[in-house]
């Protein structure tokens, strides 16, 4: 069996601290994982990539980062998309920096394919994630790797669920990201595909999906584009832990993790 941990959207510097401390505590509790992936599109103050937090995550056991629509919000660290450990959604047009999938290998372990796609509902126009996934799954290197994890970065629960059923029996797990609220619908779909609509958020739960609540309320009240401010306090670590049959790539169990973390 192969254990894979997928960490929910890490929001800002305190989210990074939360993730690092939580990973340490999981190991101390004897919770084993062979691979660790995380969504990192919110590392830089809540929007975009940030090289220093990414480096700290890689140094502490995160094997690769997926992203989403906010990866383009801060261009200063966009060169991270050239790092093979950082993915952007595969359904962006040809010529966009970075890549949407990769196969990761560790000594003594079977390889794992990680795929990143973005939904279209309530987001700006982008290539079809369904057809994009068909193309990615036809890639020879992906066909040769039975363990396939898909991060579906999308707004609409219906679109995520539809993609889950569309991929049932074809991938190991479909893990939803982006909305920052952990859903309680983890399950095994037909053909041994693990599924959750949204894995949640790693960051402060005193705000509104990670943002300072007074600013978020003001935005809704007056419809003003106020600058992003991140909430502090009541940090929580969200993730899912997958147990995978390394021979056929089927997910045998998927467990939600919700771990409160006290930060100074």
Q: To which H or E segment does residue 64 belong?
A: strand 64-66
Catalytic residue status for 70: yes
Instruction: Count CA within 13 A, CB hemisphere, residue 211.
Output: 18
Burial of 32 (0-12, 13-18, 19+ CB in 10 A): exposed
Of the residues 70, 178, 180, 205, only one is catalytic, namely 70
41/206 Cα distance (integer angstroms): 20
Output phi, psi for 261, to 5 deg: -130, 125
Q: To which H or E segment does residue 161 belong?
A: helix 157-167
Nearest CA to 142 out of 7, 249, 61, 37 is that of 249
Helix, strand or coil for residue 200?
A: coil
Torsion over CA of 48, 126, 249 and 82, rounded to 10 degrees? -40
Q: To which H or E segment does residue 59 belong?
A: helix 51-59
Residue at token pair 């609220």? 181
59 token code pair: 């140094």
Crossing angle of helices 157-167 and 129-137, in 10° steps, is 30
Residue at token pair 């990769």? 102
Just list the catalytic residues. Answer: 70
């Amino acid at each position: 069996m192969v254990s894979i941990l997928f960490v929910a959207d890490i929001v800002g510097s305190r989210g990074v601290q939360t993730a690092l401390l939580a990973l340490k505590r999981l190991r101390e509790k004897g919770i084993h994982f062979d691979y660790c992936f995380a969504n990192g599109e919110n590392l830089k103050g809540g929007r975009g990539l940030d090289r220093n937090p990414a480096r700290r995550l890689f140094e502490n056991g995160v094997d690769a980062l997926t992203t989403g629509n906010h990866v383009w919000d801060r261009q200063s660290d966009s060169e991270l998309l050239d790092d093979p450990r950082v993915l952007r959604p595969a359904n962006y047009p040809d010529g966009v920096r970075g890549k949407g999938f990769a196969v990761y290998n560790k000594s003594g372990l079977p390889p794992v394919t990680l795929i990143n796609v973005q939904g279209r509902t309530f987001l700006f126009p982008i290539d079809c994630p369904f057809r994009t996934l068909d193309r990615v799954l036809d890639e020879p290197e992906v066909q040769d790797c039975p363990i396939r994890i898909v991060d579906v970065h999308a707004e609409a629960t219906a679109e995520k669920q539809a993609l889950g059923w569309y991929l049932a029996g074809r991938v190991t797990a479909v893990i939803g990201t982006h909305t920052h609220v952990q859903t309680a619908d983890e399950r095994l779909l037909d053909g041994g595909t693990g599924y959750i609509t949204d894995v949640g958020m790693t960051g402060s739960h005193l705000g509104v999906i990670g943002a300072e609540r007074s600013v978020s309320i003001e935005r809704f009240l007056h419809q003003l584009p106020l600058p992003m401010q991140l909430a502090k306090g009541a940090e929580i670590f969200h993730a899912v832990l997958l147990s995978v049959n390394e021979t056929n790539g089927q997910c045998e169990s998927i467990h939600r993790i919700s771990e409160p973390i006290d930060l100074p």
